[in-house]
């Protein structure tokens, strides 16, 4: 769960409030009722509340702020290392005055006391974030998924370096370069697939 959690936190902190929930949604839908389900459900609604407030949908923001706070109400203030207590307080304030989003930046999420951004993600969380961002911005999700598979294969084989690992990190960390990164990924994935087909 940690890779998904950190990926969503980093995406949110990078300002992709709508995309952040996609890192958590599949995990949340698979959970039975309990603390983890409440936690992810609350975070998903928190990011949605921020997204709606940023888009001046005041009623949507206040409704989601209230329901998110209810989901997070019984969890410890640092549940799974996330600043849940601060999130609850922020949701309370946002619910009372959603227009505050125009006066100050949204609350940052922390994990184990650190504001996590894309540059802080390790490999598996980067793979999760790459898939989420590809979907959000209309890039080829299958291509990004194949690149992640090749990267895992290279790492498992003990490769000193892998262009797939490098490109995935660049895709997540360098928003302005995503187009060119995807082009390069397509070239490398195509070459790797051609090489593999020779041995089938």
Contacts (Cβ under 8 Å, ≥6 apart) of 159: none
The pairs formed by 136-143 with CB atoms below 8 angstroms and a separation of 24 or more are 136/16, 136/18, 136/19, 136/22, 137/178, 139/178, 139/182, 140/182, 140/186, 143/182, 143/185, 143/186, 143/189
Task: List pLDDT tens digits, range 45-66.
Answer: 999 999 999 999 999 999 999 9
The pTM for the full model equals 0.92
- Report d(CA 148, CA 165) in Å as an integer: 7
Contacts (Cβ under 8 Å, ≥6 apart) of 143: 134, 182, 185, 186, 189
Work out the pLDDT band at 198, boundaries 50, 70, 90. low
pLDDT (0 to 100) of residue 199: 60
Task: List pLDDT tens digits, range 22-37.
Answer: 999 988 988 888 999 9
- Report d(CA 61, CA 55) in Å as an integer: 9
Task: List pLDDT tens digits, range 123-166.
Answer: 999 999 999 999 999 999 999 999 999 999 999 999 878 999 99
Work out the pLDDT band at 16, boundaries 50, 70, 90. very high
Question: Do the beta carbons of residue 148 and residue 127 sit within 8 Å?
Answer: yes
- Report d(CA 51, CA 10) in Å as an integer: 15
Work out the pLDDT band at 194, boundaries 50, 70, 90. confident
- Report d(CA 27, CA 38) in Å as an integer: 12
């Amino acid at each position: 769960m940690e890779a998904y959690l950190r990926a969503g936190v980093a995406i949110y902190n990078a300002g992709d409030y709508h995309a952040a929930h996609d890192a958590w949604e599949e995990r949340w839908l698979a959970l039975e009722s309990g603390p983890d389900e409440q936690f992810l459900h609350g975070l998903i609604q928190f990011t949605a509340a921020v997204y709606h407030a940023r888009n001046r949908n005041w009623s949507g923001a206040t409704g989601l702020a209230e329901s998110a706070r209810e989901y997070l109400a019984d969890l410890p203030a640092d549940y799974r290392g996330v600043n849940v207590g601060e999130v609850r307080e922020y949701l309370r304030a946002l619910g009372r005055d959603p227009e505050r989003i125009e006066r100050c930046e949204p609350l940052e999420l922390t994990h184990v006391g650190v504001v996590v951004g894309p540059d802080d993600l390790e490999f598996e969380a980067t793979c999760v974030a790459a898939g989420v961002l590809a979907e959000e911005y209309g890039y080829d999700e299958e291509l990004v998924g194949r690149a992640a598979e090749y990267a895992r294969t290279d790492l498992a084989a003990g490769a000193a370096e892998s262009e797939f690992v490098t490109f995935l990190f660049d895709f997540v960390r360098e928003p302005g370069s995503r187009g060119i990164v995807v082009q390069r990924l397509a070239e490398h994935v195509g070459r790797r697939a051609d090489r593999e087909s020779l041995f089938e």
